Amino acid sequence: MAPLITALIDTYNHERYIEQALVSVLEQGLSPSELEIVVVDDGSTDQTPALIHKFVPRVKHIRKRNGGQASAFNIGFAESSGQIVALLDGDDWWAKGKLTAVANALESNPHVGAVGHGHYRAVEGSSREGELSAVVPAAQMLVNLATPVAVRSWVYCLMGALTLRRKVFEWILPIPENMIFMADSALQAAATVFGTLVLPEALFYYRCHSENLYAFDPKNREKQRRRAEMAEIAYGGVYRRLVALGIPEPQAFELVGHLWLSAKRERLHLSGGTRREALETEMRIFRATFKSPTLGYRVFKYLCVGAATLALPPRSFYGIRNWYASQNLGRWRARLFR
């Protein structure tokens, strides 16, 4: 019989963490007939491969040329056989009993395609190192395309928290391989389409360290730029993938379109681009945000904002726009054009 559950782990240069991740999977207490463990090493250049090899043959170790997270998911899933696929990053780890809890939830709720849950944040390299803070929902909830601002629930569907039925993975794959980072957003979106049950328990540990793409460092402009570029690629790719799979454009846009355009704004501010890109971005955000704007506000948006995007380089335009927002000057615009 094929294993009931596949633990799919993606890793890259996680020599400090990968053993703890694998031990946490083995300590779930499931036998090889119940649990398959697949680790995709995305071309690590440190001691990660040697550390993984210590767990072979209990662990299926797949080594590949460095190509990013999407390619790791595509290859890892092709090598898996479980009807349930639980995800984990190589620098995080699961709490004991996690797999039993999510498997029971899926069995009890055959109408959902995925399960998510809360987590503990473990912060490295700061005055808070060693502290654990729980991020959990107030109550169990079902998240789907009808859920208002469904992406807010994705904090409970991080890698390490998200478990999907095989059919959900099959539906969304292949994930576009230009999604080198944040490819899990495609899986979060697919889970939302099929319906995700979120459990009010913290069942994995999310490690916050300096190498995380989303580790906040206001002084590291290069990292901010890279993060904005990756977010634009990821959310834009997810939006287009959903539409290609038959999700109506308004629903796809409601789920990830605003994130995509916000990331595009940030990328234009930090990295620059063309004036036309800035104009198209601002007009699309305007149309998506205001369904029935007043005539006065339309005139303001097209003549003032539109003209500014064409007159100024994007970095300058968004620098002024950010200052405008920080001063809350929009309140005067609202009074004039509401």
In a domain, 215, yes or no: no
Residue range of the domain that includes 265:
221-337
- Least confident among 201-210, 252-261, 276-285, 323-332: 323-332
One domain, residues 121 and 19: yes
Annotate 161-180 with b (16+ C-beta within 10 A) or e (fewer). bbbbbbebbeebbebbbebb
Question: Tens digits of per-residue pLDDT, 248-296?
Answer: 999 999 999 999 999 999 999 999 999 999 999 999 988 888 878 788 7
One domain, residues 129 and 104: yes
Q: Of 224, 260, 222, give the one whose Cα is nearest residue 239.
A: 260
One domain, residues 123 and 260: no
One domain, residues 233 and 116: no
Judged against a pLDDT cut of 80, whether residue 51 lies above it is answered with yes
One domain, residues 14 and 76: yes
Boundary (domain end) residue, out of 183, 208, 233: 208
pTM of this structure: 0.89
Judged against a pLDDT cut of 60, whether residue 215 lies above it is answered with no
One domain, residues 173 and 287: no
One domain, residues 129 and 235: no
Higher pLDDT, 126 or 300: 300
One domain, residues 201 and 245: no
Judged against a pLDDT cut of 80, whether residue 130 lies above it is answered with no
pLDDT value of residue 78: 96
One domain, residues 122 and 258: no
Stretch 78-95: mean pLDDT, rounded? 97
Alpha carbon distance 56, 149 (integer Å) = 42
pLDDT value of residue 1: 59
Judged against a pLDDT cut of 80, whether residue 220 lies above it is answered with no
pLDDT value of residue 338: 57
In a domain, 314, yes or no: yes
With a pLDDT cut of 90, the percent of the chain lying above it is: 77
Domain count, the chain: 2
Cα angle 49, 56, 6 (rounded to 5 degrees) comes to 95
Boundary (domain end) residue, out of 185, 208, 231: 208
In a domain, 214, yes or no: no
One domain, residues 188 and 281: no
pLDDT value of residue 127: 45
CATH of residue 157's domain is 3.90.550.10
pLDDT value of residue 236: 96
In a domain, 216, yes or no: no
In a domain, 73, yes or no: yes
Phi, psi torsion values for 58, nearest 5 degrees: -60, -30
Average pLDDT of the chain is: 91
One domain, residues 227 and 318: yes
One domain, residues 245 and 281: yes
In a domain, 92, yes or no: yes
